[in-house]
């Protein structure tokens, strides 16, 4: 069966202004709107479009985290995913652990494609997709801005510093998505109601043979320094003088 596995992450909504806790131990999440990581939402949209083209038969959405993550899985099901898998844990999940979980699920489900967002907006690690490809021993195409599948090959246009690069990768493969790949669909109320009847399986790390190892410890969180107010100048000469005064030229 041609299956696509899509990994999503629960993050603070990108429209929310992040606030650091007074003691510096993290960011404030109580009462804050949470949503699917925007890059992961793009990954899910691309998987759904591939299915609608007849290139896949089933889209599976998976997340790793506490019980609250089921809200985002239901959103994924409302978008059009066929079923969901929740690997439930309260542990801090680093990219290596996430990749190990996805590797186990990719093999178990015998997927032809694993699609992830290129990074999460909370840690900006941009590592999970690459590690998954290495563990799985399959090709990878990161930062995709266009995906085409024909036969057993995926043609991926990816964004690089110098412009665009096109890769042909044999399936199964790992693809990570960039912002310009697509625009995720709007979820309608009837789809939300239908999503409640779709299967959502709950697993734990132990059942997959994965241990939640934490190799990086967050010591302190600090908000970025406030920017100084700008200065209006009349002409280029005054601008040069102001920059020279600050020692910038």
Percent of the chain predicted with pLDDT > 70: 100
What pLDDT score does 219 carry?
86
Mean per-residue pLDDT, 95-121:
95
pLDDT higher than 80, residue 34: yes
What pLDDT score does 126 carry?
92
What pLDDT score does 25 carry?
84
What pLDDT score does 1 carry?
65
> What is the residue-wise DSSP string for the chain?
--EEEEE--EEE-TTSPP-B-TTSSSB--TT--EEE-HHHHHHHHHHHHHHHTTS-SEEEEEEEESGGGHHHHHHHHHHT-SEEEEEE--SPPPHHHHHHHHHHHHHHHT-SEEEEES--TTT----HHHHHHHHHT--EEEEEEEEEEETTEEEEEEEETTEEEEEEEESSEEEEE-GGG--PPPPPHHHHHHHTTS-EEEE-TGGGT-------------PPPPPPPP---SSHHHHHHHHHHTT--
Q: Structure tokens of 156?
A: 């991926």
Can you tell me the distance from the alpha carbon of 142 to that of 79, in angstroms, rounded to the nearest whole number?
23
Mean per-residue pLDDT, 16-26:
87
pLDDT higher than 90, residue 28: no
Which has the closest alpha carbon to 175: 241, 106, 233? 106
Residue 29: pLDDT band (50, 70, 90) is confident
Q: Structure tokens of 180?
A: 């310009």
pLDDT higher than 90, residue 50: yes
* pLDDT tens-digit series, residues 190-243: 999 999 999 999 999 999 999 988 888 888 888 888 887 777 888 998 888 888
b/e map 144-156, b = 16+ CB within 10 Å: bbbbebeeeebeb
Mean per-residue pLDDT, 115-136:
94
Boundaries of domain holding 205: 3-245
Q: How many domains does the chain have?
A: 1
Q: Structure tokens of 241?
A: 């003088």
Mean per-residue pLDDT, 116-124:
92
Can you tell me the distance from the alpha carbon of 87 to that of 208, in angstroms, rounded to the nearest whole number?
9
What pLDDT score does 111 carry?
96
Q: Is the separation of the CB atoms in 147 and 154 below 8 Å?
A: yes
pTM score: 0.87
Mean per-residue pLDDT, 94-113:
96
What pLDDT score does 213 carry?
87
Q: What is the CATH number of the domain that holds 193?
A: 3.40.50.620
How far is the CA of 223 from the CAs of 12, 17, 29, 72, 124, in angstroms?
Answer: 16, 11, 15, 27, 16
* Higher per-residue pLDDT: 46 or 17: 46
């Amino acid at each position: 069966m041609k299956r696509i596995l899509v990994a999503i992450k629960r993050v603070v909504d990108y429209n929310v202004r992040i606030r650091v806790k007074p003691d510096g131990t993290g960011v404030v999440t109580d009462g804050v709107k949470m949503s699917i990581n925007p890059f992961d939402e793009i990954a899910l949209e691309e998987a759904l479009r591939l299915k609608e083209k007849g290139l896949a038969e089933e889209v599976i959405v998976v997340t790793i985290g506490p019980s609250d993550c089921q809200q985002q899985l239901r959103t994924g099901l409302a978008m059009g995913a066929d079923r969901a898998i929740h690997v439930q844990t309260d542990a801090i999940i680093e990219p290596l652990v996430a990749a190990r979980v996805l590797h186990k699920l990719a093999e178990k489900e015998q997927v032809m494609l694993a699609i992830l967002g290129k990074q999460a907006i909370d840690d900006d690690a941009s590592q999970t997709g690459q590690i998954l490809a290495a563990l799985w021993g399959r090709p990878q195409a990161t930062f995709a801005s266009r995906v085409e599948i024909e036969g057993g090959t995926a043609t991926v246009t990816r964004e690089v510093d110098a412009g665009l690069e096109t890769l042909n990768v044999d399936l199964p493969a790992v693809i990570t998505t960039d912002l310009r790949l697509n625009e995720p669909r709007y979820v309608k109320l009837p789809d939300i109601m239908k999503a409640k009847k779709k299967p959502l399986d709950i697993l734990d790390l132990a059942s997959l043979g994965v241990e939640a190892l934490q190799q990086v410890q967050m010591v302190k969180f600090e908000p970025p320094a406030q920017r100084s107010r700008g200065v209006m100048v009349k002409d280029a000469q005054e601008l040069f003088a102001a920059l020279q005064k600050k020692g910038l030229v």
